Structure 1
Amino acid sequence: MAASAKAAQPLPEDVRLPKEQPPPAFFESQAFRLLSLFIYVGGISGLGVVLAFYYLLFFDSRMPDIHLKFPVSIGGHPVQKVHEYQ
């Protein structure tokens, strides 16, 4: 009976394992939160600027000449002469 009474006692709340350490105070500060927010927003904006420069400088926006290879009509006028059946 003495063993069961000893096991039922609650452990103190401030018990820590030897390797468990509280986190550094900087990572809980508002300065760290603001710094991480600025880094995140700057990274997203920087990628948007890089993508915009790519589209301005390197992207080829001309339409391919696929309409010259297939008999389609643009504005009701045939682009190619197609075979007419009698």
Structure 2
Amino acid sequence: FHTPPALLDAAREAFARCGETGLDSPFAGTYVPLRYYGRRAEVTALMVEIRRDTYMTEPGGSAHEGLARLASALTALVDGV
């Protein structure tokens, strides 16, 4: 209800260059204020989970070239919506 197909498509397009993407994994759903939940379709939401190894050396190391791809994807998503 709160994640319309156009928003989901924009996220998939923005993150396509980052490699593998998924839906509702490892978590499902988004956060929506309860007063709007299931009532106001214009309140949209998208939760983005990002694996740390896609942008930094694990465990807890420095960032690598994936950080620029991630920043670009997030920027494209925000600019697209």
TM-score normalised by length of structure 2: 0.23
Query: Which structure: larger Rg?
Result: 1
The structure whose residues are more often helix, as a share, is 1
> Larger relative CO (CA 8 A, sep 6+): 1 or 2?
2
The structure whose residues are more often strand, as a share, is 1
